[in-house]
Structure formats: structure tokens, C-alpha cells
Amino acid sequence: MNLPSTDIRQLNAFVDGELDLAAQLVLEARLKEDAVLRAQVEHLHGLREAVRGRAEYHAAPDALRRRVGAMVAAQAAGHAPVAADARPVSIDSATGLKAILAQWFAWRPLVPALGLAAAVFFVTNLVLLPARLDERIEQEVIASHVRATLAQRMIDVESSDHHTVKPWLSSRLDFSPPVYEPADGGSALLGGRVDYVDGRAVAALVYRHKGHVVESYVWPASSSQAAVKFAEEKGFHLAHWSRGGMAHWVISDLNPAEFSALVAQLSSSD
Amino acid sequence: MTAPADLQRFEQLALPHLDAAYNLARWLTRNDDDAHDVVQEAVLRALRYFASFRGDNVRPWLLQVVRHTCFAWLKENRPGEMVPLDDSEEAWQVPGPVSEEPHVIAARNDERVQINQALAALPIAFREVLVLRELEDLSYKEIAAIADVPVGTVMSRLARARALMRQALAPEVRPALRAVVRPLPNGTQS
């Protein structure tokens, strides 16, 4: 074994037919001249034939073959692959159906979680939906109020007498809005008009309170009774409530204290 | 979970190589029962990864899975056999030859037994490449992929494996061989 290891590797690769053409030609030329190399190649060939011809080739035993077949079949049926008893290897329609069913039932542990998620979604919407509706109406009321102020066309029926304003509105709407007439204290009914809020024609009553314009939008409500809620947006103060089947939305640029006092009057009047 | 179409492909392409899988596992574990277990485990792994198998040569791929499973199994169950192998040039000095006791010599009367014993006695890294080369007739490149080493390492391991086999099979010839080799200029041929 005194040959350099690179030579020995080359000889092995030569015997295995793994040398590239150039290296092979060089080695063949060397082999012609070198008896020792030839002897080595001879030896390697002999060993190669001996191992190939005589070393035992362990073919898979039948038991293993059956077991592996069963494992594949079990996989096809979607089960944990343990099967001491042999099952046919073929994937028939029955096991295919089982696999599909097993896939479906694999979702079963998730059902309570999905139900809970659905319930949370439902309740959240139930809570948030009225809030969102209020927000939308709030925006519409502000828009109507600002539009009317800018156009300087707030009043269609000009009267401080609710006996004039109410019939006028009733004749133009499909409902009769309560019209509050302030008795004293710097507030006065200026008149009313018909406007459009929340997808329907509504009554808009216009008051003056200490130099500030106050508007009250009224229309039949879905809920007959609801407590007063205040809001503030873009410098306007808003309040809304339901009473006697009517929704009231009041908007003004009054200061908060006077606004809430006025709202208290309005909401308890009719 | 493997899709039905993949399972069918697995049956058609991979299962025909079950013999090769068992042969490799049997030579690496040197035990029927262990080889049985390892091949089952390897088939499970192969099933799991088969969907991602791209290529047309399933046998080296399956043998790679078997080889990895085998080594993982051996590492856990017989860590003594898993000595790390030094592939450097300095490590060329191979372990000593098998013992010369009378019963061993008697066993050599049967060449078949002799070869099987010599092959089984090889350190696992050498046994592995020799089995893949001589019994599975795989190319160096395929062996490199299966054993997860460069082609150059396959080359040197094969050379060492054969040198060890030679030592084990014909210890009485070695002195004569040395006598022939020694007078020659060492490594000076071009």
C-alpha cells in the first residue's frame, strides 16, 4: 500500500468507470507501463466481482412488504399508520371515501371555536350597529344643518305659533311632529321646514336661543323611548332621544351648558 | 397527510425499491429486526415527503431517506457505532486487520461467508459507500447525494473501504504485496 492515496482513489474510480475521459486516457497510458498499477487494478477488479457476486443482497422479507403495503393503505384511509395485519395495498373507492370523511371530521374539534367566533361577531355587530347608525344620522343632521345655514334657507313656514307650524308640517309629511313652543327665557320658535334625513322626509323645527340658531329634527322612530344622548362634532353640539315614538335630533352651536338646559326643556315638553 | 394521487404514485414508483431499501438498512444495522423497523419508519417519512419529491429517479431518493432514518436510529440505539470519521489525508491509516484466530480462519473457507463478514466488519461510513456502489450499482454522484458528502469523499471512502476489505480477506497475502511494492519509486510516476 505504498502508492499515494490519490493514485489509489484514481484506480478505484477507474475500476468503477467514474473517471472522466482525459484522466482515464492518462491512467490507461500509465497502466501499460506500470506492472504494479496493473496488479492493483487486477486486484480491485477481483474484489469488485467478489463483493458483487458473493455479498448477500438482502431482499425485503414478505412480512415487511405486507406491512409497508398496509401502512400505505392506512395512510390512504387517513388513519395513523399502524397495522400488524396486512391489508390490500390498492386504494379502492371505499378507503377513498373514508379518507374524505376523515378529512372532514378532522375539523370537528374546531367547531366550538368557530361557533364562539360567530357568536362574538354577532354580538359585536349587535352592539356596534346602533352606534354606527347614530353616527351616520349625526353626520346627516350636521350636513343638513350646515347646508341650510349656508343657503340661508332654513325656514319654509315662518311662524312662532306652533298652531301654524304643526299643521303646515303635517300636511307635507306622513306624520305629525310635536312642535314645542318655548314659553320664555330668550328662546323663540322661528318656524319649520321639511328636510331629508335617514332616508326619509323629516320635520325640521328652527328655534332661536339667545342669538343662536337651534334646529330640531323629528321623525317617527323605530324605538318609541330612548334616553338623551349628547354628542359633539365640528363645534356643534348634538342631542338625540326618542319619545312617544318620535326620534328627536337637536343641533346647535350653543355652549354646552345652555345647550343641555335647552335640551332638557325640549325633551320633557311634549 | 398525503394526497390520494401522491399515494398512488408512491405505490407505483417507490414501493418497487423496497428491496433496495431493506438491503441498505440491513447492511447498516446488521440485524433483520432493526432493518425491519428502520424501513417501516423510513417509508413513513418517505410518504410524508413524497409530495415534495421532484425528479424521475426514485431509488436514490428513497435510499437517502432510508439512510437518514438508519443513521438517526443508530445514533439513538447504538451510539458506539457512530464514531465520527476523519476523511483527511492523514487519516488514511486504516484500522488493523481482523483477528487471526483459528475459528475465524476456518470460517474463511467459505468465501461467501468471508466476504459477508468482512463487509459487515467495515466501519459504517465505508460499509455504506461500498454497499451502495457494489450492491446497488449507484454512481458516485448518487452515492454522494445519499451519504450527504462530496463526490471526492465518496471516492476516498470507497478506496479505503476496498483496502480494508482486501486486508480482511487476504491477510496472508499482504507481506508479499508489500515486498513487490516497496522497491518501486514512490509517487514519482507522472
The answer to whether the CB of B66 falls within 8 A of the CB of B110 is no
Tell me the whole-structure pTM to 2 decimals: 0.52
Write the pLDDT tens digit of every residue in B149-160.
999 999 999 999
Chain A nearest C-alpha distance from B167 (Å): 10
CB contact under 8 A, A13 and B140: yes
Mean pLDDT of chain A: 83
* Assigned CATH class of B4-81: mainly alpha
Query: Could you report the per-residue pLDDT of A53-102, keeping only the tens digit for each?
Result: 888 999 999 999 999 988 888 877 765 444 444 444 444 556 667 777 77
Assess whether pLDDT exceeds 90 at residue B161.
Answer: yes
pLDDT of residue A122: 87
B94-149 pLDDT per residue, tens: 444 445 555 555 555 577 888 998 999 999 999 999 999 999 999 999 999 999 99
What's the fold here for domain A117-267? Phosphorylase Kinase; domain 1 (3.30.200)
Beta-carbon separation of A72 and B10 below 8 A: yes
Q: Give the residue from B187, B124, B135 showing the smallest Cα distance to B161.
A: B124
- Taking CA atoms, B53 is separated from B4, B61, B146, in Å, by 15, 8, 14
What's the grid cell of residue A125?
355587530
Boundaries of every domain in chain B: 4-81, 96-171
B44·A91 Cβ contact <8 A: no
Task: Find, in chain A, the residue whose alpha carbon is nearest to that of B87.
Answer: A5
Say whether B116 and A47 touch across the interface (CB within 8 A).
no
Domain boundaries, chain A: 5-54, 62-106, 117-267
Report yes or no: A232 and A143 within 8 Å, Cβ to Cβ.
Answer: no
Better-predicted residue by pLDDT, A134 or B143: B143
Judged by phi (left if over 0) then psi (alpha if -120 to 50, else beta), residue A152 lies in left
Measured in angstroms, the CA of B135 and the nearest CA of chain A are apart by 6
pLDDT digits (tens, 9 = 90+) for A20-50: 889 999 999 999 998 888 998 998 998 998 8
A113 to chain B nearest CA, in Å? 23
Task: Answer yes or no: do A48 and B134 touch at CB < 8 A.
Answer: yes
- State what percent of residues in chain B have pLDDT above 90: 48
Which one of B1, B43, B155 has the shortest CB-CB distance to A68?
B43
A12-21, A156-165, B55-64: least confident range:
A156-165
Cα A204 to Cα A218: distance, rounded to the nearest angstrom: 6
B177 pLDDT higher than 70: no
- Give A8's contacts in chain B (Cβ within 8 Å): 159, 163
Count the neighbouring beta carbons within 10 Å of the beta carbon of residue B149.
18
CA dihedral for A89, A91, A97, A103, sign (positive or negative): positive
Q: H/E/C letters for each residue in A33-72?
A: HCHHHHHHHHHHHHHHHHHHHHCCCCCCCHHHHHHHHHHH
pLDDT of B40: 93
Judge whether residue A194 has pLDDT over 80: yes
Domain B96-171: give its CATH code: 1.10.10.10
A242's enclosing H/E stretch is strand A236-243
Chain A contact set for B163 (CB, 8 A) = 1, 8
Answer whether B155 sits within 8 Å of A12, measured CB to CB: yes
Cβ within 8 Å, pair B187-A61: no
